[in-house]
Amino acid sequence: RLHVGARSTVYRGRRLADDAPVIMKVANANHGTRGEAHAMLRRELEILAAIQSDRVIRGYDVSTFGPEAMLVTEDIGGESLDRHLARGRMSIAGALGVAAGIVAGLRDVHAAGIIHKDITPGNIVFNADTGEIRLIDFDIATAWRTTHQGFVSPRAEFTPPVIYSRE
C-alpha cells in the first residue's frame, strides 16, 4: 500500500497478463456506490487517454478489486515528490530538472484542454534513479469549455492573458 486518501487507496502491483508493474488506485468504499466509484475512475481514465504526454501517468484500465472499483495505471518505479523531498533536499540542478518536467507535463495537460486542479508534490511521481516525472491523480480534473473562438475558462478572472490574445 502506497497511499491512503479520502477517496482512494493506492497500491503497487503487477499486471497478471504480462507481469508489468502497475499502480492500482482503488476507490474507497465510503466514496458513493460501486457504480459511482466506477464512473469516477472511468472518467479519470478517459482524461488520461486524452493527454498525449510522457510526463502524465498512462492509464490502462478500470476494473474491480473485490467489491471495489479500481483504476490501473503505469508504474515508473518512483515515489511522490513530497515523500522524496521529506528525505532531504535536492541539488539545484536536480530541482530545476524536476521543475522543467512538471512544466512540460502541465503544458501537455493544458494543450489537451484539461485543467488538473490539484497540482501538489503528492500528485507528482518522481523516479530519482531515472529522472522520470509523471503527473498523477486526475480525479478532480476538468476540461476547458471550447467555442469557435478558442478556450473559455470556467472562471474568466483566472484565465491566463495569452488566451485572450488575438495573435
Cβ–Cβ < 8 Å for 25, 69: no
Answer yes or no: is pLDDT of 165 > 70: no
The grid coordinates listed for 93 are 540542478
Structure confidence at residue 146 as a pLDDT band (50, 70, 90): low
State the catalytic residue, choosing from 19, 61, 118, 129.
118
Cβ–Cβ < 8 Å for 22, 60: yes
CA distances from 127 to 83, 94, 98, 120, 161 (A): 11, 12, 10, 16, 34
Cβ–Cβ < 8 Å for 133, 98: yes
Among the residue ranges 43-47, 106-110, 158-162, the one predicted with the least confidence is 158-162
Note the pTM of the prediction, 2 decimals. Answer: 0.84
Tell me whether residue 118 is one of the annotated catalytic residues: yes
For residue 8, give the 3-state DSSP assignment.
strand
The confidence score (pLDDT) of residue 30 equals 75
